[in-house]
Structure 1
Amino acid sequence: MTSLPFPPAPWRLAANQWVGVALLLSIVVFALAAPWLGDGDPSRQQLQRFLEAPSLLHPLGLDQLGRDMLVRLAHGTRLSLSLAVLSVASAAVAGSLLGLLAAWIGGCFERLLAAVADAVLALPGLLLVLLLAAFAPGGFWPLYAGISLALWVEYFRVVRAAARILLSSPQIEAARMLGFGTAYIVRHQVLPELYPPLLTLMRFGLAAAVLAMSALGFVGVGLQPPTPELGVMMIELLPYYHEAPWLIVAPVAVLFVMLLGLLLLSPQREPA
């Protein structure tokens, strides 16, 4: 079977990838624990206790409105992960399916999809998100749609190129001549070869989605206060950096750990 030049056996992890898994698992556990941290309400205010320093009861202190920073951070992490996973999963499914169809059908259909993909790729990804977010400022679903539209092209291009190589291989031709159906060929001979590059793309896609969401929240065009989102928390807490630096360090640290975990999870090329 024709093999693609992508890392095989993505489940065999190197030492750096195990570190990435540990970091990501810690972030996921922290996000899932959000409803059980403190009183579980990220919007509860205690105005008389604003900018309170960390304590046993409030390990990350209270923000400028007296809200528990640990609770808000956990809910913000959960929101970022949910949006990133949903967006990347949608982009991966849509882009992969269109890439397979383009490679399989070919002709005018393939050229049309390739032209659409090139047109989308010509626009900066954040611009697409901004255009959709303009229809419903501060909404979750416009952000989801914009990030998904910005990411699907990469999956389409990679799957289309890889599938064209695979579908022209002698093994696929032999399977067709023996009467195997399209579904069987795709499931047993094409998809297994596509899993490694797709997993790599999804890792980088998750990092891009989390970073885009935080960046848009930070500049004020993503989710809006009082939503507990990492970028929103950063811009809200920035004016209080000198009085309570630990507050803004917390969301920055969570974002850093998330991105570092995804980066370490990516396979490293071995030197030639």
Structure 2
Amino acid sequence: MPVAAPRRAGRRRRLGLLLIGAVLLFALLGPWLIGIDPARQVLADSLQPPGLQHLLGTDVLGRSVLARLAHAAQLSLGLALLAAITAAVPGVLLGVAASWHGGAVERALVMLADAVMSVPGLLLVVLFAALAPGQHWALYLGLSLSLWVEYFRVSRAVARPVLAGDAVQASRLLGFGGAYLLRRHLLPALAPVLATLLAFSTAQSVLSLAALGVVGVGLQPPTPELGLMMIEFLPHYEEAPWLIAAPVLLLMGLVLGMMLLAGEREVQP
């Protein structure tokens, strides 16, 4: 029985990698392989069912759903990954700096993090989106500013016992500098936790972008985006239910893959 949990975790990880890999391939190669302009309208083909010409059918304006879905996956996943990685860099550096220096530096950084956390993350993104409606950079900046706090808190919590440990104290007595301590002691302790957090924050960013698109304060039409596609397809769910199923299933597959991949880290012995 002791080996059952690692085996189940390995299967979950493989399934997560498979789902994420499929979405990545679709996002990277889909627009090139499909070769159809996602904004091209053919009103005569309005609400065509899935077929050989259009594998996922067409929307009410006669646009290819498959082409729009591929560009939407590329946009949502790319923007979410960029925001998560951008948030991770300052968050980790500030978290390590807070644990390293302690005292007034740590108190100031903790107060800054608490101030950012007092504003709900999605509300912060909405505020930036309101300043520049429909602009990619506004959503990216809002997501990054709402995500860095989690990286700060996690890296600070992980770095504190490591820096106070015997191994780090011995390295300092032997004269090793900060770069060596960071590379030899801190990064190995931070890497597994940050990998899990990166998966969670990327999934959170994808969901946030979709939610903003649904309520109409994110990216604006005719930009292909998962949330926008859902709200565009919703009025036609009775006559063309396959339309809304496409972005919903893609979003579910992407988020499920991220969760399975992140969950693998948590069950490792």
TM-score (norm 2): 0.94
**Misfit runs of 4+, over 6 Å:** none
Count of residues paired in the alignment: 262
Provide Cα deviations, 1:220-243, integer angstroms capped at 9, x if missing partner. Answer: 000011000000000011111111
Cα shift readout 1:77-130 (whole Å, capped 9, x = no counterpart): 000000110000011111001101111111111111100101111211101101
Pairwise mapping of residues 177-256 of structure 1 onto structure 2 (< 5 A)?
177-256=173-252
Counterpart of 1:130 in structure 2 is 126
1:162 matched to 2:162? The reply is no
C-alpha distance 97-182 of structure 1, shift in aligned 2 (>3 A): same
- Measured after TM superposition, the shift of residue 171 of structure 1 is 1.1
Q: In the alignment, which residue of structure 1 is the partner of 2:90?
A: 94
**Distance in 1 between the 2:40 and 2:222 partners?**
11
Between the aligned partners of 2:22 and 2:164, the Cα distance in structure 1 is 44
Q: Secondary structure at the match of 2:131?
A: coil
SS in 2 for 1:206: helix
Q: Which amino acid aligns with 1:201?
A: L
**Within 2, Cα distance between the matches of 1:198 and 1:237?**
37
List runs of 5+ in structure 1 lacking aligned partners.
Answer: 1-12
| 1:259 is the counterpart of 2:255 | yes
- The separation in 1 between residues aligned to 2:88 and 2:128, in whole angstroms, is 20
RMSD: 1.8
Q: 1:271 Cα deviation (Å)?
A: 11
Distance across 1 between alignment mates of 2:28 and 2:170: 49
Decide which structure has greater helix share. 2
SS of equivalent to 1:186: helix
1:155-187 Cα distance to aligned partner (Å, 9 max, x none)? 101111111111111111111111101011111
1:74 paired residue number: 70
Q: Partners in 2 of 1:271 and 1:159 — Cα distance?
A: 19
The answer to whether the 8 Å contact 1:50/1:64 transfers is: yes
Q: Give how far 1:72 is off.
A: 0.3
Q: Which residue of 1 aligns with 2:5?
A: none
Q: Give distance in 1, aligned partners of 2:69 and 2:137.
A: 21
Percentage of pairs with the same residue? 54
The answer on 1:115 being equivalent to 2:111 is yes
1:24 aligned to 15, 20, 23, which one?
A: 20
Name which of 40, 44, 50 aligns with 1:48.
Answer: 44
